[in-house]
Amino acid sequence: MSNLADRLLNEKRPQGPGLPCGVKKIMESVSPDDKKALEIVFESPVSSGGITNVQIHKILVEEGHAIAFASIRMHRAKRCRCYVGKNIVFDKKKAELNV
């Protein structure tokens, strides 16, 4: 096995998904009503009459929240730190390379 492969396969894995994403940080800092509204918006697909990620970003920035557009996109797609890694268990045997 190459040095790179060995290091990648044996690197210590994080124990959880890490710090919350930008959206989660905002949700933790706003009023219960604002949090509920954000939860509804992020669960409503644009195709079902939901508002777009661009609209969400614009509103949050106008309300004084510093957040990257990518954070909104990733959270809505459930691909941010809030979701990724929670139910994933690293299987070293499956990851071993045939070198």
Give 48-85 pLDDT, tens digit per residue. Answer: 788 999 999 999 999 999 999 999 999 999 888 888 76
Is residue 47 domain-resident?
yes
How many domains is the chain partitioned into structurally?
A: 1
The pTM of this model reads 0.68
> What is the per-residue pLDDT across 14-28, written as a single tens digit (0 to 9) for each?
666 567 899 999 999
Is residue 74 domain-resident?
yes
Q: Whole domain around residue 24: which residue ranges?
A: 18-89
DSSP assignment of 6-45: HHHHHSPPPSSS-S--HHHHHHHHS-HHHHHHHHHHHHS-
Is residue 9 domain-resident?
no
Work out the pLDDT band at 30, boundaries 50, 70, 90: very high
